[in-house]
């Protein structure tokens, strides 16, 4: 039996900190923050656990940057590490992070390696096939 992925609720960027504070005040703990560059948006998922139950908050940012999010470190200090990852890997500016590594959290050979999806021709060229 696979685990229940929980519910996914869309949240506007401006309401993110208030929504996260409500979850914390209700006893939810932050489990992870992850991102993905999708064809139609940059999506950031915040996952929370309460007694084995998972709930997620999804923030969609426009495909074209700049991508900006408010920091949730005033609510969950441990989010600082996830937020630095969002910046270094996805080029998402997180404003107000209490522990900002200023782009030096990860060393990568390619700056912001997951910031955009490669086009189909680029993927085919890398694989050595024609699109």
Domain residue extents for the chain: 7-127
**Dihedral sign, CA of 42, 104, 108, 122?**
positive
pLDDT of residue 87: 86
Residue for token pair 């969950």:
76
For residue 105, the SS3 value is coil
Which residue has tokens 């900002």?
A: 100
Say yes or no to pLDDT of 27 above 80.
Answer: yes
Architecture of domain 7-127: 2-Layer Sandwich (3.30)
Give pLDDT tens digits for 62-117. 877 778 899 999 999 999 989 988 887 888 889 887 656 465 555 666 655 456 65
User: What letter does residue 35 receive in the DSSP assignment?
Assistant: E
Distance (Å, whole) CA 29 – CA 51: 9
Which of the two residues, 118 and 49, has the higher pLDDT score? 49
Strand partners, 93: 68
């Amino acid at each position: 039996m696979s685990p229940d992925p929980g519910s996914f609720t869309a949240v506007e960027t401006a309401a993110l900190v208030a929504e996260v504070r409500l979850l914390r005040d209700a006893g939810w703990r932050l489990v992870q923050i992850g991102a993905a560059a999708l064809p139609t948006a940059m999506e950031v998922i915040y996952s929370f656990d309460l007694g084995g139950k998972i709930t997620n908050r999804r923030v969609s940012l426009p495909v074209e940057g700049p991508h900006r999010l408010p920091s949730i470190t005033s609510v969950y200090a441990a989010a600082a590490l996830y937020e630095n990852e969002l910046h270094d890997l996805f080029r998402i500016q997180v404003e107000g992070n209490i522990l900002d590594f200023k782009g030096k959290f990860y060393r990568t050979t390619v700056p912001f390696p997951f910031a955009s999806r490669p086009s189909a021709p680029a993927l085919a060229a890398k694989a050595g096939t024609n699109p």
